[in-house]
Amino acid sequence: MLIHLKQLLTPDELAQARALLQAADAPWIDGRRSAGAQAVQAKNNEQLAQDSPSATTLRALVLAAVQRDPLFFSAALPRKIFNPLFNRYGGGMNFYGAHVDNAVLHSRAPDQWVRTDVSCTVFLADPDEYEGGELVVHDTYGQQAVKLPAGDAVLYPGASVHEVRPVTRGARLASFFWVESMVRSDEQRRLLFELDMALLALRKTQGESAEATRLTGVYHNLLRMWAST
Ligand code: NI
């Protein structure tokens, strides 16, 4: 399941993030320093040094944005969030071939292991600023290519094979991170999301009703049955 989070960042947050990432002294390092054994063969991009002051500011900015977004919560049902990372594709370091992410990764801030149930990419450059650079997710329904407006994000299954196509002009800036979900199963998480969205639409068109209350009970009882906290 791919979920598009529209305008995850406010225009102010986006401008702040871009200013930090485009600063002349932004501490970009070779992205291969943080890839697993399989992924390192395919990886050719740059990443912002995690221990830099700008990374600290940017992490807080992205975390605040996802934590206030109701769609993010409903779709990911987060238990732990990996500290957001930042990357740049362009020039001679411009692609990330097909790979899988490690199932469990160590997040530095806070210091914790995170199971990668859900992956998230936040686009920080507009599609017309660069050529190529689509995030391609090999889903059960086939390949889906994603290239979103700056400030938007996509959630996709952490278990999927995925890649970033070569950027042949300009620079692609993004944040990416993983979520360990309270509900480990993609299938169960998808059912909960469907039910939650249907309830939202039902209340919008019909207002409160006894049936909506009962279905809300079903939602929470399924979540109680499936969630680990
Ligand atoms: Ni990846």
Full set of structural domains in the chain with CATH = 3-181 (2.60.120.620), 186-226 (4.10.860)
Q: Model confidence at 55, in pLDDT bands (50, 70, 90)?
A: very high
| Interval between CA 115 and ligand 1 midpoint (Å) | 14
The per-residue DSSP string of 40-88 comes to HHHEE-EEE-TTSHHHHHHHHHHHHHHHT-HHHHHHH-EEEEPPPEEEE
Predicted pLDDT of residue 183 = 98
Q: What element of type H or E holds 135?
A: strand 135-139
| Interval between CA 228 and ligand 1 midpoint (Å) | 25
| Interval between CA 124 and ligand 1 midpoint (Å) | 17
The pLDDT of residue 35 is above 80: no
Partners of residue 180 on adjacent β-strands: 80
Q: Model confidence at 140, in pLDDT bands (50, 70, 90)?
A: confident
Q: Is 39 helix (H, G, I), strand (E, B) or coil?
A: helix
Q: Model confidence at 167, in pLDDT bands (50, 70, 90)?
A: very high
Of all residues in the chain, the percent with pLDDT exceeding 90 is 91
- pLDDT, mean of residues 130-151: 94
Encoded amino acid at 38, one letter: Q
The pLDDT of residue 41 is above 90: no
| Interval between CA 153 and ligand 1 midpoint (Å) | 15
| Interval between CA 96 and ligand 1 midpoint (Å) | 8
Of all residues in the chain, the percent with pLDDT exceeding 70 is 100
Q: Is 32 helix (H, G, I), strand (E, B) or coil?
A: helix
d(CA 100, CA 113): 18
The pLDDT of residue 40 is above 80: no
